[in-house]
């Protein structure tokens, strides 16, 4: 039969099984999500439970105290984190100031592009972002049409951990609203990409024109439902009275 891999090759019963033979000390893990929106929480829990340590984690944020990657910080399993924004996390701040965790600050757009490039076979690219700032220290620069650009390197991770809304049995993914964020570039830059979804649907039930990430990037899928999604800042407006 010509076609994508069968479900038996990709679908795992849970996060622990999906990660069992992948995790080892000192590895680099790229994690999707923005704040607590679209984070792979079942997979993060499974990494916490596995006890692997000395991890390098690439993620836009570091979670908040005891949510998301904050859990992995609390257990001291992270040696280095590459992020653009780590606010709202007191345990992180404490470890950073005590020199217990190494941080590489990377501008958000540069971080997304480093993941995208790593997954697209592009080892480096030039960007104006960060020219003349601390981010440029030690980096090669080049002028194009009289303007200075920085050389930034693509990121390839040992494992990518991703949260999606729906997957079919061949790993074709759809995301929901702003929960897509870093999940797409993160998925592409992992040697192995493990995805937790809210819903696994039969192959053929997703419109091929509406796939956000094709299954070629996805090696393992598990259903993480039911989810109790966290909101960092609940902001509402009053209803107009009729």
Partner 1 sequence: MMAWTRDQMAARAAKELEDGFYVNLGIGIPTLVANHVPESITVTLQSENGMLGIGPFPYAGEEDADLINAGKQTISELPQSAYFDSAQSFAMIRGGHIDLTVLGAMEVSQKGDIANWMIPGKMIKGMGGAMDLVAGVRKVIVVMEHLSKAGDPKFVPECTLPLTGRNVVNMIITDMAVFERSDRASLFRLTELAPGITAEDIANATTAAYLQ
Of 17 and 227, CB closest to partner 1: 227
**Torsions phi, psi for 47 (to 5 deg):** -65, -40
Contacts for 92-101 with beta carbons within 8 Å, 24 or more apart? 92/62, 100/76, 101/73
- Rounded CA-CA distance 105/111 in Å is 9
β pairing state of 141-144 and 147-153: antiparallel
Of 40 and 169, CB closest to partner 1: 40
Of 15 and 185, CB closest to partner 1: 185
Least distance in angstroms from the C-beta of 60 to partner 1: 7
Residue 114: C-alpha distances to residues 98, 106, 126, 131 (Å): 28, 10, 11, 16
- Rounded CA-CA distance 129/148 in Å is 10
The conformation of residue 226, written as its DSSP 8-state character, comes to S
Of 19 and 171, CB closest to partner 1: 171
- Rounded CA-CA distance 168/145 in Å is 46
| Binding positions for partner 1, rule: CB under 8 A | 34-38, 60, 83-87, 93, 96-97, 103, 105, 107-113, 115-116, 127-135, 165, 175-185, 212, 229-239
- Rounded CA-CA distance 19/7 in Å is 17
Of 61 and 77, CB closest to partner 1: 61
Least distance in angstroms from the C-beta of 113 to partner 1: 6
Least distance in angstroms from the C-beta of 208 to partner 1: 19
Least distance in angstroms from the C-beta of 135 to partner 1: 7
Of 55 and 117, CB closest to partner 1: 117
Least distance in angstroms from the C-beta of 51 to partner 1: 28
Least distance in angstroms from the C-beta of 15 to partner 1: 20
């Amino acid at each position: 039969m010509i076609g994508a891999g069968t479900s038996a090759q990709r679908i795992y019963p849970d996060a622990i099984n999906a990660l069992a033979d992948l995790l080892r000390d000192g590895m680099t893990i790229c994690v999707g999500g923005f704040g607590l929106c679209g984070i792979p929480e079942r997979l993060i829990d499974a990494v916490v439970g596995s006890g692997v340590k000395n991890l390098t984690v690439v993620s836009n944020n570091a979670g908040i105290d005891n949510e998301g990657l904050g859990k992995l910080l609390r257990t001291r399993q992270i040696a280095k984190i590459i992020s653009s924004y780590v606010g709202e996390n007191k345990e992180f701040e404490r470890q950073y100031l005590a020199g217990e965790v190494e941080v590489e600050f990377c501008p958000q757009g540069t971080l997304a592009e480093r993941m995208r490039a790593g997954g697209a076979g592009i080892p480096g690219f030039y960007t104006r972002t960060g020219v003349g700032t601390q981010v440029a220290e030690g980096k090669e620069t080049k002028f194009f049409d009289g303007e200075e650009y920085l050389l930034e390197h693509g990121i390839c991770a040992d494992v990518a951990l991703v949260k999606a809304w729906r997957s079919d049995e061949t790993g074709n993914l759809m995301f929901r609203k702003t929960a897509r964020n870093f999940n797409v570039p993160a998925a592409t830059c992992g040697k192995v990409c493990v995805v937790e979804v809210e819903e696994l649907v039969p192959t053929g039930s997703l419109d091929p024109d509406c796939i956000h990430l094709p299954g070629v990037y996805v090696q393992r899928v598990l259903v993480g439902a039911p989810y109790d999604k966290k909101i960092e800042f609940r902001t509402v407006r009053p209803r107009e009275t009729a």
